[in-house]
Structure 1
Amino acid sequence: MKDAARTLAWDDFRLINAVAEARNLPAAAARLGIDHSTVFRRLRAVEALLGTPLFERHRAGYALTPAGEEVAALAARVDEDITAVTRRLAGQAPAPSGELRLATSDSLLSDLLMPMLARFRRAHPAIRLDVVTGNAALNLSRRDADVAVRATDDPPDTLVGRRVAGIAWALYGADGRTAEGDWVCLGDNLAGMRVVRAAREAVPAARLAGRFDTVLGLAQAVEAGIGVGHLPCFIGDAWPGLVRLAPPQPEYASSLWLLTHPDLRHTPRVRALLDVLAEAIAERRPLIEGLSPRAA
């Protein structure tokens, strides 16, 4: 096996790593961007070359054999080394150009960041943006994203960045709605937020008209008149169909962070985006922090 392993290419190790992590061939094929039959054929060829099976096929999926565990561990170490090298090289890029992946939520993107990204593109046309949205935390250490803009009070210790604003939350309704009617709130996926827990504790189940798994969906529900609900002030005070029903509650506030991986913080394209966003967010801070409510 030792001599045969010397003839394995990096693509073979990537294949083994993908099957080991996915535990089935279709998911591994999707991760590698190839078809299922190609994964099957290449895996059999690798095992034939090594002269030993790397996986045991079970109904529940593919399980590593002892030999497979050894090769998969080597593949994981090589993958980590390659990722670390590419991060360092990216951090030494000489000019702000190339692709830059930004991770954020749909509400931050549509109601806060989009004009800022337009400003950024005008200033840096050689940088191509790849924007991904969602509430799940992406793994910046594996380059799932280069920069993350997140509303959080507990940013990961593995990332570096800056707190650029506090996000105020207040109670809003459609025109003519009051807090005495039906309510809406965020769903179970965001149940860890103080504002969600408070709403569920204070509002009787009979008056809870609906739950929504995104802040943007919740804002649209409030605007449509389904019920009143707590929203970030940068949405509630900006949408003409929404009316603030109570002042912002400090205990519901969260922090807005610009985050990146330590190896990327001096990358020209990352540095350029962080600087543009920090400046633009500072200009919008009164709205974000609930200090400039729209006149009723």
Structure 2
Amino acid sequence: MPLDWDEFRFVKAVSDCAGLTAAAARLGINHSTAFRRLSALEATLGTRLFDRLRTGYVPTACGRAMIEAATRIEDDITRFERVAAGRGDTPSGELRVTAPAGFASNLLMPMLASFGARYPDIRIALILSEDALNLSRRDADVAIRVTRDPSETLVGRRLAAVAWAVYGLATRDYGDLAVEDWVSPGPSVAGGSFTPFVAARAPADRIRLRINTVTGLDAAILAGLGVGPLPCFTADADPALRRLSGPHPELGADLWVLTHPDLRHAARVRVFMEHVAEAILPLRPRFAGG
């Protein structure tokens, strides 16, 4: 009996989730349905697709072959979707945009408002995330990212240099920062570049707080938890904060707007990237810490 794509997708989900319960939740079915479906598929094929171990479902040789085929099918479908999405000549439809959460209020919302007024037929789906979403799998169509090394699989343009400095409360006087309490991004942020920076300026027992995102650093400093690094673009605009150092090159990165090559000529992608570049141009001195 010929198999359809849903069976391949089902087996791949069981493998990805290492079991039926999580796979059923991902696919929107209940556990008993998933169990019957796998049993029926194995009966049709005349072989087991998974060994049921205490640690989870482990694919057999036949299961691995089916999962490899499912991966190829999924990649082909995603590639076709990108090509199809890139053929539109009219700036319309849904556009998925991902950006760091810290950009939401100070940068993105005014930009999206002016873009919406200019292109009312485009609907924005905004995904705020510190993680670099996979544009090849169309997790997003356009990414606004702060990075020193954008992926070679993407295309786009560099918008601005992003400078960082150390900030504290505007109402306080500061002397030796090594005796102050500090807040810092955690080692998972920006490839861990903040960890040695803060460690070189403050003993471990003076680091009061580590955060796994950039979002929240300014609130921690404003709450009096300590001094710490912040992007100049947002921190210089807050009268309650005071810059305590010049921009530090070792913390700097670049702001990029990126997309997949298959989508670069799609009308809605092209006009959005052009709009973002136009909006950032007059803000470059602020991003650079000027």
TM-score by length of 1: 0.91
Match of residue 286 from structure 2: 287
Q: Does the 8 Å CA contact 2:170/2:239 hold for their aligned counterparts?
A: no
What's 1:247 paired with? 246
Pick the aligned partner of 1:105 from 100, 116, 135. Answer: 100
Separation in structure 2 between the aligned mates of residue 51 and residue 149 of structure 1, nearest angstrom: 49
Amino acid at match of 1:102: V
Mapped partners of 1:26, 1:119: distance in 2: 45
1:9 and 2:13 are equivalent in the alignment: no
The 8 Å contact of residues 112 and 234 in structure 1, kept in 2 or not, is answered as no
SS in 2 for 1:151: strand
Quick check: 1:126 aligned with 2:125? no
Q: Which residue identity is paired with 2:131?
A: A
The question of whether the paired residues in 1 share the 8 Å contact of 2:171 and 2:240 is answered with no
Task: Indicate the percent of aligned positions where both proteins have the same amino acid.
Answer: 51
Matched, 1:82 2:82: no
Q: Which residue of structure 2 aligns with residue 221 of structure 1?
A: 220
Counterpart residue type for residue 247 of structure 2: P
Q: Is the 8 A contact 1:170 1:246 kept in 2?
A: yes
Aligned in 2, Cα 1:258/1:191: closer, same or farther, shift over 3 Å?
A: closer
Dislocated runs of 4+, deviation >4 Å: none
Per mean C-alpha deviation after superposition, the further-off stretch among 165-174 and 245-254 is 245-254
Where in structure 1 are there 5+ consecutive unaligned residues?
292-296
Q: Deviations over 1:200-257 (max 9, x none)?
A: 2221123222111221211111111211111001111112221112222233211111
Where in structure 2 are there 5+ consecutive unaligned residues? none
- Which residue number corresponds to residue 152 of structure 2? 157
Q: Per-residue displacement from partner, 1:127-167 (whole Å, max 9, x unpaired)?
A: 22222222222111111111111111011111111111000
Give the Å deviation of 1:191: 6.3
Matched AA of 1:137: A
Residue 36 of structure 2: which of 32, 41, 61 is its match?
41
Q: Structure 1 counterpart of 2:51, which letter?
A: E
CA RMSD for the aligned pairs?
Answer: 1.7
Residue 115 (str. 1) matches residue 110 (str. 2) = yes
1:294 equivalent in structure 2: none
Report the Cα offset of residue 172 of structure 1.
0.9
Q: Please tell me the residue identity of whatever aligns with 2:258.
A: L
Matched residues in 2 for 1:57 and 1:282: separation? 57
Q: Determine if contact 1:104/1:150 at 8 Å carries over to the other structure.
A: yes
- CA offset at residue 190 of structure 1? 1.5
CA separation of 1:259/1:36 partners in 2, compared to 1, >3 Å: closer, same or farther? farther
Task: Map 1:120-199 to 2 at 5 A.
Answer: 120-177=115-172, 178=174, 179=177, 180-190=179-189, 192-199=191-198
Moved more, 149-158 or 44-53: 44-53
2:66 is the alignment partner of 1:68: no
CA distance in 2, matches of 1:80, 1:145: 15
What amino acid maps onto 2:153 in structure 1?
T
Q: In structure 2, do the counterparts of structure 1 residues 163 and 52 end up closer, same or farther at CA, with 3 Å as the change threshold?
A: same
Residues of 1 paired with 2:275 and 2:195: CA distance?
Answer: 32
Q: Could you tell me which amino acid in structure 2 is paired with residue 151 of structure 1?
A: V
Q: Is residue 266 from structure 1 mapped to residue 261 from structure 2 by the alignment?
A: no
Name the CA distance, whole Å, in 2 between partners of 1:35 and 1:24.
13
CA contact under 8 A between 2:15 and 2:59: conserved in structure 1? yes
Give how far 1:77 is off: 1.2
Equivalenced residues, count: 286
- In 2, Cα distance between equivalents of 1:106 and 1:35: 34
**Using the alignment, how far apart are the partners of 2:65 and 2:193 within structure 1?**
45
Cα distance between partner residues in 2 of 1:103 and 1:214: 15
Equivalents in 1 of 2:81, 2:280: separation in Å? 30
